[in-house]
Chains A and B, each alone.
Chain A
């Protein structure tokens, strides 16, 4: 083949070859520099990103501790639930994901967006969007695994309140920690993080640290689809401590049934006066805490929660510790004790005229009837207002205030439940503060305060703590529900640390009060017609708390609140071992609505103690009346007395 040297022809191929050679060299140098930049200068950054790519910490939630009653009957436990979770890190198109969840799994868009847009939440932490996923939900998630790898099914423990509404106020409920709580330094210090489930009320809240346990973690290598390929490390979760309450399930059932069976609302506290252990605590109406456990962002359960929160009868409100009511005549026990201790009266010389009432300035304040000139015993037994009006005037408001304050009135009892209120115990300073138009304390105020009316308003728990302290001889125990936390890897066994406040009271005073209360039931007193079994030797005191007159005019449901406080046994050589306080809202006279309830509770207590069966109808919670589903017949809106926000001077 004939060929021609390119150079001879003036066709400068060689130059072009050189040009290409240098061009190639330039390209290689540029690429080399780029590799150097990525692999040396920015190496650490990319190394971290490569690690983030492939290593993921998947939390293993710890089961919360179970809650038992004093006889180790299970009250609250965990069941395994299938939950739908979304991992924000794996979301490619937020709008698509949100639409898919809203349309197919019935999840609330607004709530979901709040969760998704939470800047505090780590992107790798899955968001629980639906608890208790149905079979259909699970099938949908499985079928859309490829389009939506960010949506997965997770098996997690779910809180189960075995008895639904029963004792809901004291057990409380759980929910995801909210942003406000996270800002709380105490929460921060305890290591709570966004998305954690925490106790939001009751025992669940108060003992959250004990109950919550410690989440475990799986550190896994994942592939580009987020599927775990291998496990690098695993920290097993540690279950929270089981808690044993002082509560007695049977008594709780009996106590609640007293209200439900009569379609009445109110509160009751049953405790052991000798140590403050709460055996039952009732607040009616109630709510089902399971609704909160189920609730995350599915529309259905949001509605259920909203129904509870917005219910005008305020079912979430624990009247036993948050409802404040005038004490009515139950107050007379405190008055009598104070007067005897102060020496205003002596047992030998305690007769004061009743007079059917008293003239104060231009007003006459009535007693129920004219009791003649009773002594202190008769005054208690027959609840003579006239006697106590005059006794109050003799003592003066300062001394009354001083003594009831020593008994803990107007202060929180320290019960181990969140949200307890202080109530109001009027004094000169108090009146000056809340009533600037009429700042001066008058005799008329003293007269009203002497029988627990007027401005006196306290939660039932405060009243029973004070009077329990007196009847057992001056030992004021803190009412409490916590008995024991069982040992786990996390915490040693814990018991309640009972530190009673001592107030020195004379034997004679105690004996007088004790005998008076016994007389109320057993010597033809105000509660003698209630039919307390003789052998239990119960003593008590009725009370009728006036509902503001204006309210009364509006409808007959605004009858007075009915109080009864009782201890048993009394007037024997034994100290009382059970104390019950009960308030029936708009129940009328003390002996008519509340005393029968207290009788049933005490009867049940002693039946149980003697090993006898408790009458089945007392515990027949399953046959609860219509209140379960329908609004109470009385339809009473929030009682002014039961709403602390409406009362002046309430902390």
Chain B
């Protein structure tokens, strides 16, 4: 074990401060749009727990976590996902929450972290330059149980996230170009095959993006249009914190979750948006730096798994806010209201800090 002093010297402070700043930024938007102040308090409380988790993980050797703890964590998460399906609380059509002692826990958020760890664990010992079919099947087998359970919760966004995690690891693991090609074709065929079976609201959400001018401004196009109005009306400097009208007057339903970025854009303008994006880039850049610096594959893979997860969330969420992507219920990491998601993100941060701290230790 390295001594504490040296560990502190090795802490990547930017990697720790960027997510804290993002969560704090999110709290500004939550306080502007959520119906009461308890949302911000809960978010700050979650940030505290998340930091504690991150620091605890930082002081733990990530390799132990990957090799010894990950399977148990994964198994526990799967059990929770089953429990949620049976006893879960339904919020906005998704049965994704477990109410424990006054707190809502969303096991699917932890499931993302557990899946990343399990995939990294599987790839840690890979010797080949590319993935074998057997590897790919095993990886798919790791992802499928949580994916199916989450899909059963009717949480389309999170289901897609598991697909994105798997895709990230296939890419990192060195999927053969043939499979990459097959994968692209399979996804394309899959989309075409799935499209007619999508529910009407899902089709409409896609159509809104393709033909915004034809969208029903009061119906399916409503959220997208209102979100774009919020963003656009913010201008360069914004309307001022607490002075956004779209979020405050309820034109953006549940703005504090999926549309938090629209609230930020409305109230703080392009300046705020750029600040937010810079913070995300700092976070991702530091994570990638950790991944590059790691002399050990499982460390790189864990961190890159989280990078893929965060990037996918940002792409989907901000894409939705600015009407480049259909609405699919993917929150903005760290900023959207949601305690479990914040904690899960800090698990990733903690793991990255742990990897960084041990970058010379091989």
Query: Is the beta-carbon distance between B230 and A50 smaller than 8 angstroms?
Result: yes
Chain B 53-75 interface residues, beta-carbon cutoff 8 Å to A: 63, 67
Q: Mark A38-60, 1 if CB is under 8 A from B, else 0.
A: 11101101110110011000000
Query: Is the beta-carbon distance between B126 and A39 smaller than 8 angstroms?
Result: no
Report B-chain residues with C-beta under 8 Å of the C-beta of A27: 311, 314-315
Query: Is the beta-carbon distance between A1 and B63 smaller than 8 angstroms?
Result: yes
Set B129, B234, B236, B251: member contacting A12, Cβ < 8 A: B129
Query: Is the beta-carbon distance between A11 and B126 smaller than 8 angstroms?
Result: yes
Set B231, B249, B291, B300: member contacting A54, Cβ < 8 A: B249
Query: Is the beta-carbon distance between A43 and B232 smaller than 8 angstroms?
Result: yes
A301: min CB distance to chain B, Å: 31
Chain A residue at minimum C-beta to C-beta distance from B295: A5
B29: min CB distance to chain A, Å: 15
Chain A residue at minimum C-beta to C-beta distance from B274: A32
Report A-chain residues with C-beta under 8 Å of the C-beta of B146: none
Report A-chain residues with C-beta under 8 Å of the C-beta of B288: 17, 20-21
Interface centre among A3, A20, A38, A224 (most CB of B within 10 A): A38
Alpha-carbon distance A92/B217, docked complex (angstroms): 9
Report A-chain residues with C-beta under 8 Å of the C-beta of B250: 223-225
Q: Mark B218-247, 1 if CB is under 8 A from A, else 0.
A: 110000001011111111100000000110
Chain A 9-23 interface residues, beta-carbon cutoff 8 Å to B: 9-14, 16-17, 19-21, 23
Chain A residue at minimum C-beta to C-beta distance from B237: A39
B319 within 8 A of A: yes
Query: Is the beta-carbon distance between B311 and A24 smaller than 8 angstroms?
Result: yes
Query: Is the beta-carbon distance between B362 and A34 smaller than 8 angstroms?
Result: no
A570 within 8 A of B: no
How many residues of B are counted as interface, with CB atoms below 8 angstroms from the partner's CB atoms?
59
A610 within 8 A of B: no
A615 within 8 A of B: no
Report B-chain residues with C-beta under 8 Å of the C-beta of A46: 228-229, 231-233
Alpha-carbon distance A43/B237, docked complex (angstroms): 11
Query: Is the beta-carbon distance between A17 and B280 smaller than 8 angstroms?
Result: no
Q: Mark B96-136, 1 if CB is under 8 A from A, else 0.
A: 00000000000000000000000000000011110000000
Alpha-carbon distance A19/B171, docked complex (angstroms): 10
Alpha-carbon distance A28/B129, docked complex (angstroms): 30
B322 within 8 A of A: yes
A146: min CB distance to chain B, Å: 14
Query: Is the beta-carbon distance between B322 and A35 smaller than 8 angstroms?
Result: yes
Report B-chain residues with C-beta under 8 Å of the C-beta of A12: 129, 174
Interface size class of A (residues with CB under 8 A): 35 or more
Q: Mark B164-184, 1 if CB is under 8 A from A, else 0.
A: 000010011010000000000
Chain B 282-304 interface residues, beta-carbon cutoff 8 Å to A: 284-285, 288, 291-292, 295-298, 300-301, 304
Set B233, B274, B292, B362: member contacting A50, Cβ < 8 A: B233
Query: Is the beta-carbon distance between B280 and A49 smaller than 8 angstroms?
Result: no
B324 within 8 A of A: yes
Query: Is the beta-carbon distance between B233 and A47 smaller than 8 angstroms?
Result: yes
Chain A 212-257 interface residues, beta-carbon cutoff 8 Å to B: 221-225, 229
- Looking at the complex, which of B8-16, B81-89, B188-196, B265-273 is the stretch in contact with chain A? B265-273
B281 within 8 A of A: yes
B318 within 8 A of A: yes
Report A-chain residues with C-beta under 8 Å of the C-beta of B67: 1
B323: min CB distance to chain A, Å: 8
Report A-chain residues with C-beta under 8 Å of the C-beta of B228: 38, 46
A150: min CB distance to chain B, Å: 10
Query: Is the beta-carbon distance between B234 and A17 smaller than 8 angstroms?
Result: no
Query: Is the beta-carbon distance between A28 and B277 smaller than 8 angstroms?
Result: yes
Set B129, B292, B324: member contacting A11, Cβ < 8 A: B129
Query: Is the beta-carbon distance between A39 and B273 smaller than 8 angstroms?
Result: yes
Alpha-carbon distance A49/B233, docked complex (angstroms): 8
Report B-chain residues with C-beta under 8 Å of the C-beta of A6: 297, 300
Report A-chain residues with C-beta under 8 Å of the C-beta of B319: 31
- Which DSSP category, helix, strand, loop or mixed, fits chain A's interface? helix
Alpha-carbon distance A225/B273, docked complex (angstroms): 28
Alpha-carbon distance A45/B235, docked complex (angstroms): 10
Report B-chain residues with C-beta under 8 Å of the C-beta of A23: 311
Report A-chain residues with C-beta under 8 Å of the C-beta of B236: 39-40, 43
Report B-chain residues with C-beta under 8 Å of the C-beta of A35: 231, 265, 270, 273-274, 322
Chain A residue at minimum C-beta to C-beta distance from B227: A38
Report B-chain residues with C-beta under 8 Å of the C-beta of A34: 322, 324
A117 within 8 A of B: no
Report B-chain residues with C-beta under 8 Å of the C-beta of A32: 273-274, 277
Interface centre among A4, A10, A14, A223 (most CB of B within 10 A): A4
A36 within 8 A of B: yes
Chain A residue at minimum C-beta to C-beta distance from B125: A4
Query: Is the beta-carbon distance between B231 and A17 smaller than 8 angstroms?
Result: no
Query: Is the beta-carbon distance between B251 and A39 smaller than 8 angstroms?
Result: no
Report B-chain residues with C-beta under 8 Å of the C-beta of A229: 249
Chain A residue at minimum C-beta to C-beta distance from B245: A54
Alpha-carbon distance A17/B289, docked complex (angstroms): 10
Report B-chain residues with C-beta under 8 Å of the C-beta of A17: 172, 288, 291-292, 300, 304
Query: Is the beta-carbon distance between B318 and A31 smaller than 8 angstroms?
Result: yes
Chain B 2-38 interface residues, beta-carbon cutoff 8 Å to A: none
Report A-chain residues with C-beta under 8 Å of the C-beta of B172: 13, 16-17, 20
Query: Is the beta-carbon distance between A38 and B307 smaller than 8 angstroms?
Result: no
B331 within 8 A of A: no
A89: min CB distance to chain B, Å: 10
B333: min CB distance to chain A, Å: 13
Interface centre among A14, A32, A50, A223 (most CB of B within 10 A): A50
Alpha-carbon distance A328/B216, docked complex (angstroms): 71
Alpha-carbon distance A373/B129, docked complex (angstroms): 142
Report A-chain residues with C-beta under 8 Å of the C-beta of B231: 35, 38-39, 46
Report A-chain residues with C-beta under 8 Å of the C-beta of B292: 14, 17
B308 within 8 A of A: yes
Chain B residue at minimum C-beta to C-beta distance from A90: B218
B253 within 8 A of A: yes
8 more A-B residue pairs beyond the given contacts A20-B288, A39-B235, A49-B229, with a C-beta to C-beta distance below 8 A: A4-B127, A11-B128, A17-B304, A34-B322, A40-B236, A46-B232, A54-B251, A225-B250
5 contacts between A and B (CB under 8 A): A3-B296, A3-B362, A9-B127, A50-B229, A229-B249
Report the 4 A-B pairs with minimum CB-CB distance, sorted nearest first: A46-B232, A50-B233, A3-B296, A92-B218
